[in-house]
Chain A
Amino acid sequence: MRVMVLVKASEESEAGVMPSTEMLTEMGAYNEQLVKAGVMLAGEGLQASNKGVRVYFSGKERNVVDGPFTEAKELIAGFWIWQVKSMEEAVEWAKRSPFQDGQLELRQVFETEDFGEELTPDLREQEDRMRTQTAAKA
C-alpha cells in the first residue's frame, strides 16, 4: 500500500525561513534511509503559501485567490509518498524522522481495489474494446 505523508506548515515555514544546515543534513540522511529501504517513491518540500494560489468553486463560478493563507497549521509544507506493507510500518518510519516539533499526517492512498463498483462503467467499456482487439500481451 501507499501512504502520503503530509508535513504540516509552521510559522517559520510560512515566513520562508529555511531549515538550519543541521536539519537539512539530518533530513538528507533520513531521506537516504527511506530510499535505501525501498520505501520512498517521491517527496518534495513546498514553498510558503504566499507563492500559492487557491481556486474556489461555486457552481460554474471560479474564484482565484492569491496566497498567503492563514492558519499555518492547516497548511502543507511538504509531502512524501511511501510504499509500505501497512500503516503501522509507515508510522514506524514516521517516528524516525528528525522533526523536533510540528506534526506529520499519514493518509492511505486509494488503490484500485478500494474503488469497487465506482469504476465499473469505464472498465466495462474497456472490456468491450478488448474483445475486438489484439492479444498482444501486457
Chain B
Amino acid sequence: MTVPAIQRTIDAVWRIESARLIAALARLVGDVGLAEDLAQDALVAALEQWPDEGVPERPGAWLMTVAKRRAIDRIRRDQVSARKYAELGRQLEAEQDQAAVDGGQTIVDDAGDDLLRLIFIACHLAFSTEARVALTLRLLGGLTTAEIGRAFLTPESTIAQRIVRAKRTLAAANIPFELPDAAARNARLSAVLAVIYLIFNEGYAATAGEAWIRPDLCEDALRLGRILAELTPREPEVHGLVALMELQTSRLRARPGPAGEPILLLDQNSARWDYLLIQRGLAALQRAEKLGGAHGPYALQAAIAACHARARTAEATDWQQIAALYDALAQLTPSPIVELNRAVALGMAYGPAVGLELVDLLNTEPALAGYHLLPSVRSDLLARLGRNEEARAEFARAAALTQNARERDLLLARLHALDAAPDSR
C-alpha cells in the first residue's frame, strides 16, 4: 500500500471511529478537552505505525487501547492527584472485567449514551454559536480544523482558536460530562438542533462567497442529524429536523444551474429531485407526527417542504396548505423571515395583491432592513401585478444587497428581463 492510500484509509477509519472514541474517553477521564487530545495522540500513533504494520483488524479497538495507555501516561506525567489516577485505574479495570464477562458488549451499549453526552457538550450554551459549530464538526463529524475553516471560509487559525477557547471555558466552568437533566433537556436539545441546522444551512444557502451551495456541509449536517435521530428516537423534533434536511437535500442537485447559478424551487425540473431522500424525508416527518410533534418548528418547516416534494409540477403545489403551515409557524416562532415566506405562499395561493399587502407591512421591519430577499420577493409580486417600473427598482435593490455573487447575477438577469417591458397595469 502506498503512503497516500494508507493515509486515506486512516482518514476513513478516523471518520468512522473518532466521535465514539472521544466520547468513550471523555467518560473515562471526565474531560472532553483531554479526551480529544488523547484521541489525537492515538491518531498520530496510527499514522506512524499503520503504514509499516498495516491496518489492524479492529482499528477502533486499537485506537482506544493506545488512547487509554496515553491517558495513564499523561496522568502519571502531570502528577494529577493520586485519587483521580486510582479512580481511572479502577474504571479501566472494571471495564475490562465486564468486557471479559459479556464479550465486549457493554462498551458498545454505552457508546450511544457517551455519543449523546458528547453532542450535548459540544453544543453547550456556555459557548458562542461559532464555537458550538466548530466543536460539533470537530468532535462529532471528525473534521479537521483546516476542513472546518475551508467550509466556513474562515482561517484555520481562527477555528483552532475558537476550539481552544471553548475547551478552556469547558474546564473553567467545570461542566460535567453528563446528559442535561430533565428541566434543561428541552432547551439543550433545541440548541443541538439549531447547531446542526446552522451547519446545514451554511451548506445549503452559502451566505457569502462564490459558491451557491456546499454539498459537503449539507451531508455532514444530515449525517449528524441521522445519528442523533437514532440516539434519541423518542424526540419528535429531531425527526422533524431530519425530515426537513432530507427533503431540502433532495432538491440539491436540481438547484445549481449550468454556471452554478441557483434554480429556484418552482423552476426546478422535479425529475431531477432525489426520490430516495424524499421518501426518507417523508418517513421521518411521519415519525415526528406519530410522536405528537406535528407542530414543532422543524416539523412544520418539514411539512412545508413535504408539500413541495409531493407536487410533481410547480402548478400542482398546494399553496393554501403551505400558507396555513406558515401561519402555524408564524404563531409558534414569530419572525419577519417567516412572515416574508408566508407572504410568498399567500401570493401564490390567493394572488399577488394579497402577498404584497403582507410584504408592505414588512417593509418597515428593522430586522429585514438590508435583507435582499425582501425586495426580491416584493419585486416579484410587483412584476406579477404588472407594476414593472417599481419591480425593476426592487430587483436592483435586491441585487445590491445580496452577498452571494451567483444570486446577484440571477437578480440582475430578472431585472434585465423586465427592462423591455413597460408597465402593463
Binding site for B on A (CB under 8 A): 35-39, 41-42, 81, 83, 85-86, 88-89, 91-93, 111-112, 119-120, 122-124, 126-127, 129-138
Q: Report Cα–Cα, A112/B274, bound state, in Å.
A: 11
Q: How many A-B residue pairs have CB under 8 A?
A: 115
Asked if A88 and B8 make an inter-chain contact with CB atoms under 8 angstroms apart, the answer reads yes
The chain B residue with its CB closest to the CB of A115 is: B253
Does any Cβ of A come within 8 Å of B23's Cβ?
A: no
Identify whether the interface residues of B are mostly helix, strand, loop, or mixed: helix
A89-B15, A131-B417 given; A137·B265 CB < 8 A: yes
The chain A residue with its CB closest to the CB of B220 is: A85
Asked if A112 and B264 make an inter-chain contact with CB atoms under 8 angstroms apart, the answer reads no
Which of B66-74, B82-90, B169-177, B371-379 touches A? B371-379
Asked if A126 and B266 make an inter-chain contact with CB atoms under 8 angstroms apart, the answer reads no
How many chain B residues touch the partner (CB < 8 A)?
53
Residues of A within 8 A of B12 (CB): 85-86, 88-89, 91-92
Binding site for A on B (CB under 8 A): 8-9, 11-13, 15-16, 59, 112, 215, 219, 222-227, 230-231, 248, 251-253, 255-258, 261-269, 276-277, 280, 314, 341, 344, 348, 373, 376-377, 379-380, 384, 410, 413-414, 417
Asked if B8 and A127 make an inter-chain contact with CB atoms under 8 angstroms apart, the answer reads no
Asked if A38 and B223 make an inter-chain contact with CB atoms under 8 angstroms apart, the answer reads yes
Contact among A83, A123, A124 with B219 in the assembled complex (CB-CB below 8 Å): A83
A86-B11, A88-B11, A92-B12 given; A38·B376 CB < 8 A: no
Asked if B9 and A38 make an inter-chain contact with CB atoms under 8 angstroms apart, the answer reads no
A92-B12, A112-B253 given; A136·B344 CB < 8 A: yes
Q: Report Cα–Cα, A37/B414, bound state, in Å.
A: 43
Residues of B within 8 A of A135 (CB): 264, 344, 376-377, 379-380, 414
Asked if B344 and A137 make an inter-chain contact with CB atoms under 8 angstroms apart, the answer reads yes
Asked if A126 and B376 make an inter-chain contact with CB atoms under 8 angstroms apart, the answer reads no
Asked if A37 and B11 make an inter-chain contact with CB atoms under 8 angstroms apart, the answer reads no
Minimal beta-carbon separation of A121 from chain B (angstroms): 9
The chain A residue with its CB closest to the CB of B231 is: A36
Minimal beta-carbon separation of B104 from chain A (angstroms): 13
Minimal beta-carbon separation of B344 from chain A (angstroms): 5
A126-B267, A126-B268, A137-B264 given; A131·B227 CB < 8 A: no
> 19 other contacts beyond A89-B15, A122-B269, A134-B264, with CB at 8 A cut-off?
A36-B231, A38-B222, A38-B224, A42-B276, A91-B12, A123-B257, A123-B263, A126-B257, A127-B263, A130-B263, A131-B417, A134-B384, A135-B264, A135-B379, A136-B265, A136-B266, A137-B341, A137-B373, A138-B262
Asked if B413 and A131 make an inter-chain contact with CB atoms under 8 angstroms apart, the answer reads yes
Asked if A35 and B230 make an inter-chain contact with CB atoms under 8 angstroms apart, the answer reads yes
Instruction: Provide a sorted-by-A list of 6 A–B residue pairs whose CB atoms are within 8 angstroms.
Output: A89-B12, A126-B268, A129-B267, A130-B264, A135-B377, A136-B266
Asked if A126 and B269 make an inter-chain contact with CB atoms under 8 angstroms apart, the answer reads yes
Asked if A92 and B9 make an inter-chain contact with CB atoms under 8 angstroms apart, the answer reads yes
Asked if B267 and A92 make an inter-chain contact with CB atoms under 8 angstroms apart, the answer reads no
The chain A residue with its CB closest to the CB of B398 is: A135
